[in-house]
Structure formats: structure tokens, C-alpha cells
Amino acid sequence: MNLKPVLILLGLALATIFALVCVLLTRERSPRTCQSLPPEQEDPEDGQSLVFADLTAEEMSQVVRYLRGHLGVPLVEASRAEPSENCIAWLDVQVPAKAEVLRFLDSGGARPPREALAVLYFGQQPEPNITELVVGPLPGPAYHRDVTVRKYGGRLPYHRRPTLAVEYKQIGGFLKSQVFPSAPAFMQQVMEYDGANLATVTAAPRGFQSGDRVTWFVLFQNVSGFFLHPVGLEVLVDHSSLDISQWAVSRVFYNGQYYRDMVQLESAYVQGRVSVEKVRRAPRDGDFSSMKPRAPAAAPSPLQFEPQGPRYRVRNNRVLFQGWSFAFGMSVSRGLRLFDIRHKGERVAYEISVQEALSVYGSNCPAGMSTRYMDGSFGLGRYTSPLVPGVDCPYLATFVDTVSLSDSLRPKKRKASLCIFEQNLGSPLRRHYSNLQSLYYGGLVNSALVLRSIATVGNYDYVWDFIFYQNGALEGKVQATGYPSSSFLHGDGLRYGNRLWEHTLGTIHTHFVNYKVDLDVGGVKNSLMAQDMEFEMAQAPWSPEQQIERPRLTRRVLDTEDQAAFLLHSKMPRYIYFAANSKNKWGHQRGYRIQITSSAGDHIPEASSMERAISWARYQLAVTRRKEEEPTSTSIYNQNDPWTPTVAFADFINNETLTNEDLVAWITAGFLHIPHSEDIPNTVTVGNSAGFLLRPYNYYDLDPSIYSQDGVFFTSEQDFTACEINPLACLPKTASCLPNFPPFTFDGFPNMSMSLKTVLILLGLALATIFALVCVLLTRERSPRTCQSLPPEQEDPEDGQSLVFADLTAEEMSQVVRYLRGHLGVPLVEASRAEPSENCIAWLDVQVPAKAEVLRFLDSGGARPPREALAVLYFGQQPEPNITELVVGPLPGPAYHRDVTVRKYGGRLPYHRRPVTGREYKQINALIHSELKKAPLFLTACCDSDGTDLVTLTTAPRGFKSGDRVTWFVLFHNVAGTGYYLSPVGLEVLVDHGDLRVSRWQLRKVFYNGRYFASTGDLEQEFVAGALEVVRLKQPQADAVLGSMKPRRPPGPPAPLQFEPQGPRYSVRSNHVTFQGWSFAFGMNPNTGPRLFDIRYRGERIVYELSLQEALALYGSNCPGGMSTRYLDGSFGIGRFAYELVRGLDCPYTATYVDRHYLAETDTPKTNQNSLCIFEHDSALPLRRHFSDSQSFYYGGLRRNALVIRTISTLINYDYIWDFMFHTNGAMEVRVHATGYISSSFLHGRGTDYGNRVGPHTLGTMHIHHIHYKVDLDVDGQLNSLESQDMEYEFVKDPWSAQNTIERPHLRRERLEREDEAAFPLNAPLPRYLSFVSPNPNRWGHPRSYRIQVISFAGKHLPTNSSMERSVSWGRYQLAVTRRKEEEPTSTSVYNQNDPWTPTVAFADFINNETITNQDLVAWITVGFLHIPHAEDIPNTVTVGNSVGFFLRPYNYFSEDPSVDSPDSVYLSSEQDAGACGDNPLACLSSAATCAPRLPPFHFGGFLNLSLAPPLGGL
């Protein structure tokens, strides 16, 4: 058939479609589509950023033309060049010297000439060499200069040149034509070689000494995902000669044996002396390595769209977003790089760039054991792959083409190889819910700009992200996916990894990534500062006979490069920052802090002959003086001659001074990868990320995000459903538009021409589109199509079984109260009115049955356990007042109760341990205000107050010894609608409220501005006598107070919103959730907060219980309240104080919101409406992916979506965001983010020894946050053991060259048999792989297991000689594994807060060296961070960088990654039509997602006014 008439028909069809679309768009009845508004941020820059711009295709062509005409030597096309010929290897832009650029950008100097860097291989010279030429000026080059000697101190030897694609092709031809034919029987009978069914992968470096070019090549079956199909044959090729005919085979390896060459292998084979392992021939699609979807496509996952268009701007190589601006580019070798990064117009960094990605492998096969890939030499920028909309980046991202010239004389465009998008992270950047003193809510959604590229270097795909947050923080992150590299499994192979398939060994390896960060903080000249904490023992100033341990701030200037070079696994100061010469408003040096996230493996031993080539990896952070002659930490030439490295980073560190200099931070991050079954077919990004944050640290005077247009603030006195009050209330109208999803396009595969078949397919689609458009025109209704919900595909077979874990209902609580009031025989007073000397019900909770009972019911058809409640009562009206715990049942109609106090705690609970009630706080405040009346003149002078407008904040614990109930209360100015926590007046009072008769309570001490007084009367006398130094504070105004969260700017266009085109893909029934193979029950303990039970994946229980245990905040200060504060938040009520979540800010607008009921300090159940949310979150990145443009052309990927269950607890000043996430690869993630207000002290004396000044008289006091979790894992059954895996290097004689040694990582496995071995101190190294293992193996013989991976930046634990340390002894350990016992249900107790000296529960007692082999085990995990408050904590602490948690990841639990069965999988090949719905579900989005999101009207249930119960008093 002639193609021409078909193309004419196609053109007519497209014209018809265009006409019909025009009719649709102009009809009055058409639905409103989302309209783009121009970004508000103006761009005053007039092309200045082009000084950093990558070369254009035209410039590259001009440079090539110039070089071919002006060098006087022949230049051969690199793709055809022999080693003995000359060629252009690649081109890049030559970025001018920094001084020149800054003169141009900042001082009106001349624009530096635009130049190119050309790298040439001169093989046709008497001394072959690599030469680097600078060519300019562009666009019309007229000169060149050789910079090789200046840059490298001499000529570059030719053997160092990176291997070109043509050389690999020539080696492949050599193997095919000369090597393989020399072993015909072996190749045909064992390899079934047909000339095309084998693929090779190179190892590197290439030999053992400088000058070598001898490379091992590993042979694999040439199928999709060939990296996982080794055949056991490896060949060592000597390709050092420039004459290809002189290339030779140096060694051959097959299945554990070495041979001189293929001839010797053939001879041995023919004689029957070869141990043959015949590998089953894989189908062309690779079978287990195939990325083709295993399940049909289903409902689309959540998508984000921009109701009023992008809020960022991209002009040429420059991006603007929410105060940020920067230039971006792509280095051919090093990849993504940024320049001139500014926030609010000030340059923060001059350059941030990737330097290198290193992988060091271990194996018992020669190629694997000798591989140390330095990916920069292959080309991180050159191998940047095209990005697939909807998987690699959000569908509506801005995609940018990049151009490079390498291995060719012609520029090559890589379409859509970089993307830019704004991502709503689905959580608050900062927030606070206030129901004390004044009722308000303030917050800001965390919406950030992401710049991304993905480099596919051989088997691995590296996702490179730079993320820009609205608070001035910048994050650099890399996430690894793609295929693991493998060796042929033989002999002792399991010392070097795990078996992944029949003959496939996934080999242990490290990933190290190095970044250059040229910070210019407040100017070019900076210094390096370190801050950390230490505990000091001091006498309590108000009670000198007592000792108190308090954290103190340590400060240090790092003067020299040697001091600023932190070895990879050494302890680094928790706060390290570049400091400017200038100061902020509060007198602190303006700074930017570096915070590294890494779980790197071990660096190669320094004794290695090649270590200097990668010596940057010695250091997690090294700061050096910036020098033009030290532009990069490594060189692309190091890969092929690491023994005489062209650039050795270790030489940069020569102890030069760092004070007031232009400095560069070199950051190394990474992780150890021990491939396991779930790496088949692909490594997932979950848990495989590393990077760093740059965070403003006293750089500003307050958090710059307060000026964001996304800010939300409303009070109880406002109509928060009104648009003008609350921009979230506008969303149902603003976002009810049709998102514009353009048709899917992908131009990622080369050499694809339009065939007749393709044209016919397009014509068919066009005709179908015409038909559909006509149908729409004929049948269209007046209302726009709204997104319709489809039922989740996953059935929920659970028939109410999860209710065995369910929280008490309001009706059940009422029944329990009714029962207790009628059956105890003692009077019970309503707790909100009870005196300490009376009896009351403190709180109720569900009594979860014993695990054995529950499992008999769930798993064995046993009887449902009786439903019971736990009631906690305060018996003050008894001869021996006490706390009693009663179990009441059965519910719903209770008929019995039993006292469980003695059984649980070994004795009665003393009454003084009871948590303080709201009524008690109210009575304390009445006493304080009565006493304040005795100092009227002082209050007027100090505080512009009569005392009634001052509020108090409790501290805890309450005294120094068991039985004490003596509490410091700190006084603050109270300003309606603001966080009073930032307005201390310098006055603190010590109240003794231990007596059961309130009339006997009294003030024991008064503190003001560094001095102590016996009473307020004494304070007044001192003031009247003129003997008191008074700091006179005016009553703060609402608009000027530090704690105001009112937005400083009017609202702008909304941030991106998430919607579900076909409704939620999860199900919530009662307390049971199902999602993509997951199921679990959820609940809320009123004290300890969120808890999950019976967590199953694909029907198998993974975790029996996952619950929060405690949150500790321990403060330092030189004021008595601050120095004595150790909040154990469980005693206040983490669950009880989880309030209503604000739709669209605390959680996505369309999340599912759930009410929670509780009964505490009242006889009537209370409801926290919408206090828990459940939603599927689009992480806007791939879970796994691979782009293949070698051997076969295909793309496979799966977007990373997770189910999130969230609640947020507001505990006085702090807001803790509790997240539990369920990933589609079977991994769980637990995270806590901290926001809210910092606690503060009055600044006096040496206050800055304990924090930073953040206001005129406000000291932000340093403190630690430590969070504790219980994880009762049941991995493939209850009986588990604990196994650690890690790496270490071994030096061995090289098996094929005995005169040489090689260092290789190997796997160290250890079974931890006792509790003492499994208790890892807080800041000690933790084995990088620690797993709960089952006695049952997976398909490949490995114990089925789940790995625990902790992410934490914890401060120091309280010294063990502290009198109260045992009450928080769980904080000694980052991880402790114990045998599960019903009598050890929690790691702490709510009663520990008020008697930490005789703790009710001491976790240290759980660890008694019992065996933990094949037992029911529990992991107790501590995470946390040190917080040194700074100016950017005003008005609120942000969540960025203040997030910690852990992963639970399948580790050989499955036989392959379970996400291969996800219906969201995408697979494209060069043989398919990527734009066809049938081949690619992403192609369906433009129609499936074109519906108006259904956003319900904004609703907020209001505020629970705690001030009515405990006015003026904390909790």
C-alpha cells in the first residue's frame, strides 16, 4: 500500500479533530478548564544566567568546524575512530573563572567571553595523549588554547582516556571474530552461542598498574535485563595496543576456574575436565528480569495538577520559584549542576554540582571483584536518559531537552532529559493548632520545586534531585534504581552477596556520591562553625544540695582544612555551618547549615594502590579553600589509571586556614547495597537514597516562609469557611476545573522511523477520536464531567476480625463509666471538678487481649476474645491514696472488673506519680495569680502588666526525688492569636502542690532575670528598694509579636493539588484499611498515640503491633524552668491531644478523615473530629525504572505511590506529625516530623551557652527530641531470630595474577543470639543490615526476613548516672531487640514523668541477656534529633530537616520484588506505539484524568478550648 494517500487521510483526520476541538472549546456549555496565571515573581535578570549555559547545538557544531579547520591534524569521527587516530571525544561549556563571573553579575563588569572545552584524543601522534583545548569566543570561535598542562601539571597519557563506545564495539568484534571461534565446541554446546545471544559488560579499572588497559568482560544472555543473566564466562582482554590487531586475551574464567585463553578452555572442555553449569536459555524478554507488567492496568493512581498553572518560571537555563532563582546545566561527565543560587535576591551558593558516583563491588568472580566503577568517566550527563511523564516525573512537569556532543562530530539532543516541577509533599512545612489561651490555627503546606535528571549508566539508574523549599532550604538527593549487577553463582559466592536466581549472585557493593557545594553565605568570604551538645552536671541554683544535668551548647570555629575534614564514619558535629562576616538582627553570624543523610558503606582501605584516585570518599564532609585550580574532586581520567590519579582529592587538604575565606564543601553520601531477592527485576528507590540539606541557620531574622502566599491562619472568632479568611476554603471553587493533561509523548528510543503500520494505527486512533468528539458534542450535558469513584480493586475479606483491636466507642466508654460509678462502692467525682483528695476516673482505653488469644481467634478459628476496657482511677479519698488500673468487661454491657495494678507493676501505684490533671493546673494558676498580686509595682515595671495577662507554662519532672510534686512554672506575655511561648517575661515560680489539700500549696521560690527570691513579696521589696535590675518589657502588639503566624502576604495561586481521577484506591472499613495488597487495623492510645495491629502484606502477617511509645524532649537553659525540663509527652497525652486536621494543609484535601473518641478527665466521651487521615500519596518519582538503549530498546518503570496514615499531636508548643507509610513493594516507613513553636527562656547572663537569641529577650533553648517505637515483627510466623549483615574488606592475592593483590568487600553475616548483643547504644555504629529472620527459606534458600533501617540524627542520651535516667532508659539504645512478653507491653509508663527517680517501668530491665533465637521478638527503636533553635524557628519550626524514622523492608522475604504485580507498571519498547492506550496506560491519562476533581466544601469542626479547663497553664 502506498504511504502517501494514508498520510493525506491522516492529515484530514487531524484537521477534523482540530475543528471539533475548537467547537468544544468555544461552546458555552463546555466545562471550565484550568487556566494558567503568570507566576507572580518577576525576573529582573536580563540573560545574565547564560554565562553558565550549556553549549547549544549550533555552538557545538561551530566548535567542531573550527577544530577540524585549525588544528592541522586529521580528526576522525569518534564513533568510527581507531585508537591510533585523532578524534574529538566530547565538548562542554568552559565556565569562566568565578571572579570574572562575579564582576559581571554583581559589579557591572564585562560579560566574560563564552568558550567551550574540547577534549581530544590524539592517537596519531609520536606521543599519543589526551589534550584539553579551550575554544572561543562563541558563537564564532577564533582561537584555542591548550589548558592541559596548566590544569594537570603535565601532558595526559593516552592510556588514561575513557573508553569510547567505538572501542567497546571493537572489543565486541574482536571477541566475536577471533576469541569465541577458538572454542567452538564449548561455545556451541555450553553457551549455545549463535553470534548474537551473548552480551558483554565491562569491568573497570583496567589492570593493576599505571599504563595497563586490560579489562575483564562478563558475558550474559542477551535478553531484556541481561545484567541478571550471567552465563559463568568472563574474558580478560588486553586492548592496550593502539593496533587493534595486537589485542589479545590474557585470561579466561569459567565457573570458578581460570584458563590461559579460550583455546585452553576448549581443550579442557573436550577432555571433560570442565565443570559445566548449563544455564537455561532465557526467552527474549528475559523472563524474571523482564519489566513488562504482570497485571493489567487498573484505576489511575493519584495525580497532581496546578489549578492556575505552574507557579515557577523557566527561561533558558534559569528558574524562578517562590523567592528562589538559579541557573542549571548538565556536564557531560558529571551530570546535573547549578549556579548562582539565590534566595530572596541574595546568593546562597555559587555552584552545587555532582562530582562523581562510585560503586565498589565484591565477588568471587574476577570482573566483580575488580570492579570500581567511577561513573563520571562513563558520563553521568552523557547518559542522562529521556524522562517518562507520569513515572519519572509528574505528568504535568516542565520537560527540558539537553544537548551533548560526545563520541561524535554531531550534537545529540536528548529530549525531555530534565524536568522541573512543583511538588505538593502532602504535609505541612509548619503548623500549630492552639487551644490554650487563644484559639487559632496557622500553617503552611510544604510545596517545593524539584529539578530532576536521571542517568542510566549501564545497569543502574540514578535519580538526581535538587529540591528548593519555601523556607530557604535546599536539598540535594540521589536515589538508585535500575538493575543490580551480578556474578555467576559458584563456590563460596554467598560470601559476596545473595542468590537472586538459579545461577545469579547479586554482588555486594557500595554506592558513594560526591557533591561540590560552593556556598557564598552573605558574601564570598565565610568561616566554618561547629556546634553540638554536651551534658554538664551542676548544682541546682534554687536547691544547692541537688545536682542537675543539663545539655549545654558547644561552639567551635574550625580554623583549618585538617580540622574540617571529617572521615567517613567519624562523628561529625551535629550542627556544622558556613558563617558569614555579617550578623542577623539578633547578633548571630548569618549561616547556612549542612545536614547529611547517608548510610554509606566502608571506604576502600587507604593501603589500596588505587585509593588516592577516590580519596574524596574518605570524607563524609571536607571543607577546603576554593581554588580555580581545584574545580573538581576527581577526574574522568582516574577510572582508567587510578594508580597515578590525574586528580587526587587528598591533595586538596593541606591544612590551609579556613577563616574568612572563599570555601567549598565536598560532601560524600551513599549506602551499602547487598542485593537480595526483592532486587529482581529492579532495585527500588525506597530506602536507597542519600544526600544533604542546606538550611538557613540564623541567616534570616525569622523564617522566610512566613512571607509565602500559601500561608493559612484563622481563629475561633473568624468564619474559616470564608475565602477571604482562609484560602483553603476557596479550593473547591478554584480547583473545580478540568486539568489539562496533554497527550502522552515519548521520544526516547533512537533509530525509529514511522512505518506504515504506525501510520495506520495513528489514523485509526484519529478516526476513533473524531467519533468520540462527535458523541460528546451530541450528548454533552451542561455540567462538566466530575471525577467518578470506582470501588477499590482489592477485596476486603476481613469480616470484622480487626475489631478485636478497635478503640472504645463513645457508647462503650459511657457504659464503662456507668458501671464504675455503680459497682466500686466509693464516690467518684467528675475528674474536671475533682480535688486531689477525691476519687475520679482519669481515663479509659481499650484493653487489647493477649497476643496468644488474638492469634487463636484470627488464625485458628478460636473464640473471639472478650472485649474489655482499661480504666485508670485516681483514688485520693483512701487511707493510702493510689492510682488503680481496672479491667472492665465484657463490652458493650460490662458485668465485671478486676484490679490489674499489682500484676502489671509489682505493687500499688503511689498517688504522687499520677499525671497532673487540668483541674490541678487550674488550681495552681489560681495560686500563682494570687501570689502575683503581692508584687504589683514590680509587674507594672517589668512587664507592663497587672498579672492577669500573663500565662504560665509547666515544666516537668516535679522535683528531685520520689514523692516530690514541686513544679517550676514559666510566665509569658499572652497575646491573642499568637504563640506566647516566644514571649517570656523573665519571671518563673516554683510551686509545691504535693499536699492533697489545695489550701496547703505554696510558692517555694521565685526567679527573675538570673536571681532567686523566697516569695513574690521579697521580689517586690527588692524592686522597691532599687536593688533589682529590671528589664522593662512593653506589652507586645499582636502584629509585631514573635509568635504571630498571620501570613505577611495575601494569598496567591494555589499550590499543586492531588486528586484521584477514579476515586480512592484504598478502602477504610471501621478500623481496617486495605491498599494494594496491604491490610491493617489502626487505633489511638490516649496517652501514647497511634498504634497499628495485624499488618499484613498479600495476606501474610508482617507485624503484629507497631506503636508509638514515647516522645522525650530534654532542655538546657540557665533559667530554672528550662534547665529542669524533661517532657515525657505520653504522660500529657499524645493520642488525647491529636486534634482535628486541617483539610488541604495537614493532609491532602481529598484524604479520608476519621474521628477519634476518648475519655480523659471527664465522665463524658469526647470526639476529636477528623483527627486521623488516610490517603494515597504520589511521591512524584519512580519506585523503580530502567531505560535501555543498548542491546534492546525499552523502558520499564513504576511510579512510587504509598498509602499514608497520619495524625498530628499538639503537645503544648510542639506539633508532632506521625506518619505510617505503606509502599507497593512491601516496605513500611515510619516517620515523625516536628513543627510548632519552640520553647524558650528569658535571655540573661550566659544564656547563649544554651541556645541562640531569637528575639529581643528570647532565648531559643537547645533540646533533644527522642522518639520511641515498639515494632512486634512476625516475619513468616511468630518465631524469629535476629541477623546482622555488613561489609568488610579483605586483601587477597589476585587469582589470575598472583603477583598482585586486590582488596574486595565481602559479606559478614552474624546471628545475634542474646538480648545484650542486640542492644545497640544510641550513637554507636549499627550494622547496616539488621533483619528479623524466619526459620523458613525463600525460593533461593535464604531465610525470609524483614530489614530494619533507621534514619536518625539523635542528640546525646541523658548520662546514665543521672538519678532519673532509668525512667528514660529506652533512650540509651537506637535499637534493642528483646523477647516479647505480655508483662512488657510498653517501654515506659505515663507515671514515669512525675516520678522518674523510681520509675514505674524501666526499659533497661527488659534487657537481661535472654536468648533471642527462634523466639517471638520485639524491636524497640529510638529516633531523634538535636534541635538548637535559631532565628528561622520564628515563628515556627519547619519540618524540613526535622524528620526521622525507620523503614521495614523485605529482605529475601519474597522471591522477587512484589511490585512487579502492580497494575501501575509501565513498559515501552521501540516496537510499540507509546501513544496507544493499549500499550501504555500513561497514554490514557489525557482522557481518564480530564475530569473536574470533586473537592467538598472546606470544613473545620472548631477548637476545643482547653483554656476553659486549665486556664493559663500548659496541659
Enzyme catalytic residues: 1129, 1214
Cis ω before 310 (30° cut-off from 0): no
* Rounded Cα distance, 425 and 1172, in Å: 18
| Radius of gyration over every alpha carbon of the chain, rounded to an integer in angstroms | 34
Which residue is listed with cell 505480655? 1382
Look up residue 599 and give its DSSP letter.
B
Nearest to 1012 by CA among 550, 537, 552, 544: 544
Q: For residue 1018, what is the enclosing H or E element?
A: helix 1016-1024
Nearest to 1345 by CA among 1356, 1360, 1355, 1335: 1335
* Rounded Cα distance, 1048 and 708, in Å: 8
Q: Could you tell me which residues are beta bridge partners of residue 1358?
A: none
Q: What single-letter amino acid sits at 44?
A: P
Alpha helices (runs of H) in 780-861, residue ranges in sequence order: 810-823, 851-860
Length of the chain (residues): 1515
* Rounded Cα distance, 768 and 773, in Å: 9
* Rounded Cα distance, 799 and 105, in Å: 68
Q: Which three cell numbers stand for residue 1130?
A: 505520653
1198: CB partners within 8 A, 6+ apart: 391, 1182, 1183, 1184, 1185, 1224, 1459, 1462, 1464, 1465, 1466
* Rounded Cα distance, 181 and 192, in Å: 13
**239 half-sphere exposure, CB direction, 13 A CA radius:** 29
* Rounded Cα distance, 1116 and 1249, in Å: 9
* Rounded Cα distance, 1041 and 1059, in Å: 38
**740 half-sphere exposure, CB direction, 13 A CA radius:** 12
SS3 1338: coil
Q: Could you tell me which residues are beta bridge partners of residue 671?
A: 511, 599
* Rounded Cα distance, 1265 and 1270, in Å: 17
SS3 1480: coil
Per-residue CA distances from 654 to 381, 561, 564, 625, 650 (Å):
31, 7, 11, 10, 8
Number of H helices, E strands in the chain: 19, 70
Exposed (0-12), middle (13-18) or buried (19+): which is 1487, by Cβ within 10 Å?
middle
Q: Are 84 and 243 in contact (CB under 8 A)?
A: yes
Per-residue CA distances from 399 to 77, 477, 1468 (Å):
30, 19, 19
Cis ω before 957 (30° cut-off from 0): yes
Q: Are 934 and 1017 in contact (CB under 8 A)?
A: yes
Q: Are 285 and 223 in contact (CB under 8 A)?
A: yes
Q: What is the distance, to the nearest Å, from the Cα of residue 606 to the centroid of all Cα atoms in its chain?
A: 31
Pairing of strands 1152-1158, 1415-1427: unpaired
CB atoms within 10 A of CB 1381: 12
